[in-house]
Each structure stands twice: as C-alpha cells, then as structure tokens.
Amino acid sequence: MSEHTENSHEVIDHEKRDFIYIATGAAAAVGAGALAWPLVMQMGKAADTLAAGSIEIDLSKVSEGAQLKLLWRGRPVFVRHRTPAEIAEAEAVDIAELKDPETDNQRLVPNPAGKLDPKYLVMVGVCTHFGCIPVGEQGKVDAQGQYGGWYCPCHGSHYDTSGRIRKGPAPKNLEIPPYEYVSDTVIKVG
C-alpha cells in the first residue's frame, strides 16, 4: 500500500511488514495504533533540520504489546508498550548478572507526577556491537532472542525486556535517548 498527501505523507505496507513513512516537521506527534511493528521515518526535511529536531510521541496511541519505531536524528528509536509479564521479567533480573548493570527503573524517565511508568520503554534501536537494528517482534520467539526482548541477528546479541544485553558480543545495553514527558501521555525525544 502506498499513499501520498501534500505533505509527502507516505504509508507503505510491504507484505504486512508495516513500514510507515510520515513526513513531519521537526516536531511531530505520532502513535502506533493497532500496528504491532510500524516504522515511522521522517522525510521531506533537510537532514540538518531533522538532525537538530525533536519529536513528540503520544504514548497513549501505542497499545499494550505494540512497539512504535521511528527515526530520530538518523537513528531508529523504539517505543515499546510492555506487557505486565515483560515488566515483571525485567524487574526480576539480578543486575549482578548483567554485563552492563542497570535496573529497569534506571532505564525509565519520570512522568510529570514524578513517577516512573514501566509500561513504556524508549530506546535507540541500534545494537551496541556494530550498529545493526535489532528485531523484537512480539509473539515470535525467534525474533525476540532468548530473553524475550530484542535480538540482533548480525552477530547474535540477545537483549532482555528492558533492552539490556544478556548474551552475545554487544558490550552495552540498548541506549536510552534523551527524552522527557511534556504531558501525562506525551513524550518529547531530543
């Protein structure tokens, strides 16, 4: 499927792989809707404009179990609405076992009420080994790795449901980008 608007808004569905390209300004609110694995990329602006930009994301549009992918400053960002089981799994990990020790809470940002909402995990979707984009298709064990989170097929790095490296050559957890809540449900990345 391909669709264009005057703002070069383009949605492309490649055999249900759900690639969505949305031309926006330097700031845009986006949401995942019912798509489990949408990829949102900003197009139509000069690279230097996008590089300096930030994006706003309405978390309420990302349904439980879904993940939004978007491009920010040339890098993919994952916004994952985790299930209670995934949160419990992430919180139960003994960080002494980790190559890059971080609690799940350390990977979250407080909302305007000063509380952490573990449902939403926001990460740069770039493997910390050599920069491939990990996969993490929910419901497909072979696409989530051995720890139920993300898997980098380039050299076999497994990340858990908090995006922490658990097995394989990657040295660090998936990076948390700079972001903040601008309302109860909207975050600004960058």
Active site residues: 155
The 3 state secondary structure assigned to the chain is: CEECCCCCCEEECCCCCCEEECCCCCCCEECCECCCCCEEECCCCCHHHHHHCCEEEEHHHECCCCEEEEEECCEEEEEEECCHHHHHHHHHCCHHHCCCCCCCHHHCCCCCCCCCCCCEEEEECCCCCCCCCCECCCCCHHHCCCCEEEEECCCCEEEECCCCEEECCCCCCCCCCCEEECCCCEEEEC
How far apart CA 150 and CA 117 sit, in angstroms, is: 20
Q: How far is the CB of 159 from ligand FES (least distance, A)?
A: 10
Q: 169 or 177: whose CB is closer to ligand FES? A: 169
Smallest distance from ligand FES to CB 74, Å? 17
Q: How far is the CB of 140 from ligand FES (least distance, A)?
A: 18
> Least distance in Å: CB of 13 to ligand FES?
27
Closer residue to ligand FES in complex, CB, 55/133: 133
Q: How far is the CB of 6 from ligand FES (least distance, A)?
A: 39
Query: If we measure between CA atoms, which residue out of 190, 187, 188 comes closest to residue 59?
Result: 187
Whichever of 127 and 189 has its CB closer to ligand FES, that residue is 127
Count of C-beta atoms within a 10 Å radius of residue 79: 26
- Residues in contact with ligand FES by the rule CB under 6 A: 127, 129-132, 152, 154-157, 168-170
Which lies closer to ligand FES via its Cβ, residue 44 or residue 76?
76
Q: Give 70 or 165: the residue with its C-beta nearer to ligand FES.
A: 165
